[in-house]
Structure 1
Amino acid sequence: MSESKKTRVLFIKHLNSSFIRRDEMLLSEKFTIDTYLLRTIKGLGVIRELIKLLLFLLRNISKHDVIYIWFADFHAVIPVILGRLFHKKSIIVIGGVDAAYVPKYKYGTKTKLFGRLSVWLTTKYANLLLPVSQFTAEALFKNVSTHLGSKSQIIYNCFEPDSLIAKTSPRAIDVITVCLASREKTLYIKGVDFFIEVARAIPQLNFTIVGLSGEAYEFCAKKAPSNLKIIGPVAHSKLQNMLQNSSLICQFSRHEAFGLALLEGIAAGCFPIGYNFGGTKELLYESEALTIDTLSVTEAKIQIVQAMNVETSKITRIQQQILPRFTCKIRQKGLEKAVESQYLNLNKKS
């Protein structure tokens, strides 16, 4: 067994999202992974959970070589500081919200005082930062510190479709967007308010929003025109089925770190239209997908009407132009090199 296979990675997270679990799976193919999931509880209960994390780390940190954390937030402070004290290298994946600072919509970890302190401490004392896109890296340097560039490495998030679906005609849903949101402010960040206005401007087509709940659902239900259907969170298998029955997928986010839902739609044979900004711009770069340069209803209407008539061959080309750039094999190799580099640096100093 090679030395790298003996490397023990302590994987710390406060969310159990599918893209985070995917990193666990990718890293586990080469390293021994031990995972700690911090329960996120509102109020004073979080103090109890942080104490549990502290005790766990004091018992276990010496058994590991590298600490790997998703998001530079409150849950990363104790692991990063203890990593320094115990001479363990720490890696933080910068996922987007931790790099963002959009006070108008109260979006970004930095918009709260404790979050601001958490981002500053964790990015300062972590050994390596891994932004999931160029846009996220630039936001990190702008909103946190320009000095972080020297210890940052962009490794794109990844998507691995089960299969590629060519466009079939007709599809029941004309235009779809995916937004997992329960709070109204998230709707503005993800451009759902704009999507509603676009739907209103094209009454001859039907539109669908998937993933809303709580106040976000209620807000959209009040604003929605008759040709717009709002659906709550659904199982992933049902979402795939809906995408395979949609002609177009739109992503009009005002701030988007990456955009997995857009890639899922492309793999399902949806023609993509996006706001030419942030992570969306990076995904659609140098492809035959359509973009809008401003959040203009008129501009979006023109692109959507045009896209409804595209040939299947064009969607197939878009799949070939975009999806190979974000395979999980590419991310896996990048993450393995990142972990190995920190482990080797640790041994050199030992």
Structure 2
Amino acid sequence: MYFADYHSLLPVLFAKLFKKKSALILAGYGVTYIPELNYGSFANPIRGFCAGYSISNADYLLPVDGSLITEAKEWVQNIKGEIHIIPYGFDPQKWYCDTPKEKIVLTVGNFDTLQRIRRKGGDFFIEVAKLLPEYRFVMVGVTDSGRELLEKIDNVEFIEKVTQDELRKIYSKAKVYAQFSLHEGFPNVVGEAMLCECIPVGSNANGIPTEIGDCGFILENRDPAEAAKLITKAMNSSDNFGKKARERILTNFLPEMREQGFLKVFQSDKKSEVNSK
């Protein structure tokens, strides 16, 4: 099952009743509560109970990043299942750079409500853009309702939802990719951007530093001036740094690596069942 929430309660419960094994993939929403945004499964008592029961009783917990287990333990004290960290994988045949880089700072998300804009750091992105008028900032995924909520400034361009191929072309042009989220699991957009040789600048939230590693810049404090300095450093870096970002994904986060992670867990479980008979 994907995410711990109300939908995961019955599958975990019935698996337990019928003596079957259950596995739960943990990403961002199902392990948290952000009071100022009223975000996360634990924002609601009923959903929190469902998520908590699922996390506590699943036989396998498969977080996309280790930070999510740490966070889950703040809400669920008696975790019983085996824990295996299996990050997302990204397809290098689908995401690649084929154009010269431009002085563009890009962020991608679903910017449609105030909650999502704030969680994904869309408002913070604009505050940073104000400090760097010499660069073009692009936000992809801004809906009509999102436009009404976001401040308009000259060097920030809003783009609505695009196709995957259109998105790849936008990644290819952008030299810097920024992910200023308050909370994430293991964001796909960061991995996609890095495969397209964008130099990543990201907040110190959950799986973002894991993805970036030493191939980009991590914002330790939520300060627009500090973020602007990091973006300037990234923009002034050699294009080879972007190639290094792609290489990091190729080395650590491919789809077949995720597949092998699942196979290792479930084949091991199958062997254990055979040996116990």
Does TM, scored on the shorter chain, surpass 0.5? Answer: yes
Query: Distance in 1 between the 2:170 and 2:53 partners?
Result: 42
Q: State the AA in 2 paired with 1:187.
A: I
Aligned match of 1:321: 248
The answer as to whether partners of 1:181 and 1:211 remain within 8 angstroms in 2 is yes
User: 1:185 pairs with 90, 115, 133, which one?
Assistant: 115
Q: How many residues are aligned here?
A: 277
Query: Distance in 2 between the 1:141 and 1:224 partners?
Result: 40
User: 2:159 pairs with 231, 236, 239, which one?
Assistant: 231
User: 1:212 pairs with 139, 142, 154, which one?
Assistant: 142
Q: Secondary structure at the match of 2:236?
A: coil
Aligned match of 1:257: 185
Aligned match of 2:264: 337
Higher relative contact order (CA 8 A, sep 6+): 2
Q: Secondary structure at the match of 2:270?
A: helix
User: 1:93 pairs with 25, 45, 48, which one?
Assistant: 25
Q: Secondary structure at the match of 2:116?
A: helix
Where structure 2 has 5 or more consecutive residues not aligned to the other structure, the ranges are none
Aligned match of 1:196: 126
Aligned match of 2:236: 309
Pair 1:155-2:86 in alignment: yes
Aligned match of 1:71: 3
Query: Distance in 1 between the 2:176 and 2:76 partners?
Result: 36
Identity of aligned residues (%): 26
Query: Distance in 2 between the 1:326 and 1:343 partners?
Result: 26
The answer as to whether partners of 1:72 and 1:92 remain within 8 angstroms in 2 is yes
1:150 to partner: Cα distance: 5.3
1:149 to partner: Cα distance: 6.7
Residues 36-115 of structure 1 mapped to structure 2, 5 A cutoff: 69-115=1-47
Pair 1:143-2:75 in alignment: yes
Aligned match of 1:62: none
Where structure 1 has 5 or more consecutive residues not aligned to the other structure, the ranges are 1-68
Query: Distance in 1 between the 2:184 and 2:2 partners?
Result: 17
**What's the C-alpha RMSD, in Å, of the aligned pairs?**
2.1
- 1:36-70 CA distances to partner (integer Å, 9 max, x unpaired)? xxxxxxxxxxxxxxxxxxxxxxxxxxxxxxxxx11
Aligned match of 2:169: 241
Query: Distance in 2 between the 1:323 and 1:153 partners?
Result: 21
Query: Distance in 2 between the 1:79 and 1:349 partners?
Result: 24
Query: Distance in 2 between the 1:112 and 1:203 partners?
Result: 41
Pair 1:157–1:214, CA change in 2 (3 A): same
Q: State the AA in 2 paired with 1:98.
A: G
Pair 1:235–1:119, CA change in 2 (3 A): same
User: 1:280 pairs with 208, 219, 231, which one?
Assistant: 208
